[in-house]
Structure formats: structure tokens, C-alpha cells
């Protein structure tokens, strides 16, 4: 088995057992729930800010988190896949988002870049990092 084959097998195995929402950090959970709220609002052609503000109990954090979600959807190479609002398992995109938020919360740029390396174009990393760290600071 080559290193590439081992990496592919590990990736496939990870996809077969998605991480749970409840084991993520508070900030990662808030980001995943926020992107789900934004997806539901987009489906209904509604503004998600009021629901985000109620969820976060902070209007400024809601606005910044909404901007982070918009940045994610602009920088992602394909449509961002969200789970159902009640789903306790994360989609691969949501798991990546959770990893980004956790890395930003600890100011771990190496882990942040590692979570999206080869997936997100390098020229988009800085924009994503800035939006993510700004959102993380306001999520308490």
C-alpha cells in the first residue's frame, strides 16, 4: 500500500463515520448551526440575521457570523453541503468548517491552512482566515 492509497483509504473511512455536532467546541457548533440557519433562510428567501441574533444573543456577532458564512460560500470551490437542522452528524463541509473555527479560536494558522490545503485555493486562505477569526472573537 502506497502513502497515497493509505491517505485515500483514511479519507474514505472518515467520510463513512462523520463527526458529531455535540462533541465540537461551542464556537464550532455555533458556526455549523449558523450556516444551517443561513441555508434555511436562503431556501425561504429570508434574511437570517434575526434568527442568528436570537441564537447567539448578540446582534454584532450575528452580523459578523453571517458575513463569515457568506465568505465561506464565496470561497468554497463548490456548493457548501449542510446537514438538516436536526442532524447531529456533520457533513464533510461542516466538519471542515468546524476544524477551521477551532483552529482560528486557538490562532493556529498552520492547522487552519492544513484543514483546507488542496481544497481551497491558496489565494483565498487569507480572506477566509480573516473572516473566521473575526467571527470567532465575537462568539462567546
Query: What three-state secondary structure class fits 20?
Result: strand
Is-contact 27 139, C-beta < 8 A?
yes
pLDDT in tens, 74-95: 999 999 999 988 889 999 999 9
Confidence class of residue 12 from pLDDT cuts 50, 70 and 90? confident
N- to C-terminal Cα separation, the chain: 45
Amino acid at each position: 500500500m502506497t502513502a497515497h492509497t493509505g491517505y485515500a483509504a483514511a479519507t474514505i473511512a472518515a467520510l463513512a463515520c462523520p463527526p458529531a455536532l455535540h462533541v465540537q467546541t461551542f464556537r464550532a457548533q455555533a458556526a455549523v448551526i449558523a450556516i444551517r440557519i443561513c441555508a434555511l433562510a436562503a431556501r425561504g428567501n429570508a434574511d437570517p440575521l434575526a434568527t442568528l441574533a436570537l441564537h447567539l444573543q448578540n446582534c454584532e456577532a450575528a452580523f459578523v457570523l453571517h458575513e463569515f458564512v457568506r465568505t465561506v460560500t464565496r470561497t468554497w470551490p463548490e456548493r457548501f453541503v449542510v446537514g438538516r437542522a436536526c442532524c447531529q452528524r456533520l457533513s464533510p463541509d461542516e466538519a471542515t468548517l468546524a476544524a477551521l473555527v477551532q483552529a482560528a479560536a486557538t490562532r493556529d494558522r498552520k492547522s487552519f491552512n492544513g484543514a483546507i490545503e488542496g481544497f481551497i485555493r491558496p489565494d483565498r486562505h487569507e480572506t477566509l482566515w480573516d473572516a473566521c477569526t473575526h467571527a470567532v472573537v465575537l462568539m462567546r
